[in-house]
């Protein structure tokens, strides 16, 4: 099963995914790792388009997800947001549950078509900004002034243009404005419901094949399921 999580910066996508993997296992594919390498671009120009879908290597991302679905390992790029360049690769083994998370996960139709479950993670804008500030100060060595400048100059407008509109493609919206476990429980319940739906569809398909007439004269079996997306 492949689950895609989209949502604005600071909505808690990464935290939810990490906690879900801790609870039920799986592998994680983050969109940031597939950011195109810009080591050949002058340093002062590398961060000018950080928050646009065009910065993601979608062809490689889709190819890797197809490999994982087939049960093949992949060599996921390792990307440095500090230098805006790829610094190596990391081997990712296939798993029964694959979690794809990033700002633009639901932006591209070729990627959406690979997702068994599509989720939009949401939180109030002020809370998302607070989380962004905390993360960038702790993990990326930035100052509050730098974070606020980037947020006001590009991140907020990119959210309105590229992230928020993809909410319509989600099977479910997870509100992450309280304890993290509450959001994780919402997603886990959605996963379990979808697993039941997929199992039911597989069973019905098998029954349809078994019940078909050898001469091909039997009536066709038509089944509709409330698949939610």
Q: What CA–CA distance (Å, rounded) separates 191 from 157?
A: 32
pLDDT attached to residue 70 = 96
pLDDT digits over 145-184, tens only? 988 988 888 889 899 999 999 999 999 999 999 999 999 9
Helix axes 13-24, 180-210, angle to 10 degrees: 60
Q: Which residues of 121-156 are buried (b: 16+ CB within 10 A; e: fewer)?
A: bbbeeeebbebbbebbeeeeebeeeebbebbeebbb
Question: Can you say whether residue 102 is alpha, beta or left, with left for phi > 0 and alpha for psi between -120 and 50 degrees?
Answer: left
Does the pTM surpass 0.85? The reply is no
pLDDT at 73: 97
pLDDT tens over the chain, length 229 residues: 999 999 999 999 999 999 999 998 999 999 999 999 888 777 666 666 567 899 999 999 999 999 999 999 999 999 988 788 899 999 999 999 999 999 999 999 999 999 999 999 999 999 999 999 998 888 888 889 988 988 888 889 899 999 999 999 999 999 999 999 999 998 888 888 877 655 554 555 455 445 544 344 333 333 333 333 3
Domains of the chain, earliest start first:
2-41+50-182 (3.40.50.300)
């Amino acid at each position: 099963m492949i689950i895609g999580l989209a949502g604005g910066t600071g909505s808690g996508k990464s935290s939810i995914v990490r906690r879900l993997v801790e609870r039920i296992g799986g592998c994680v594919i983050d969109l940031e790792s597939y950011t195109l390498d810009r080591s050949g671009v002058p340093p002062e120009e590398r961060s000018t388009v950080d928050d646009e879908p065009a910065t993601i290597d979608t062809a490689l991302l889709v190819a890797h997800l197809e490999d994982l679905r087939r049960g093949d390992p992949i060599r996921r790029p390792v990307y440095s947001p500090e230098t805006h360049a790829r610094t190596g690769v990391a081997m990712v083994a296939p798993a029964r549950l694959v979690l794809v998370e990033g700002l633009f996960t639901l932006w591209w139709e070729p990627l959406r078509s690979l997702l068994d479950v599509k989720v939009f993670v949401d939180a109030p804008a002020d809370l998302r900004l607070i989380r962004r500030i905390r993360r960038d100060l702790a993990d990326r060595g930035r100052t509050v002034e730098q974070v606020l400048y980037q947020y006001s100059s590009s991140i907020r407008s990119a959210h309105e243009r590229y992230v928020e509109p993809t909410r319509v493609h989600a099977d479910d919206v997870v509100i992450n404005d309280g304890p993290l476990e509450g959001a994780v429980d919402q997603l886990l319940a959605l996963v379990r419901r979808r697993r039941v739906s997929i199992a039911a569809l597989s069973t019905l398909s098998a029954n349809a094949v078994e019940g078909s007439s050898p001469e091909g004269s039997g009536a066709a079996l038509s089944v509709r399921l409330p698949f939610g997306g």
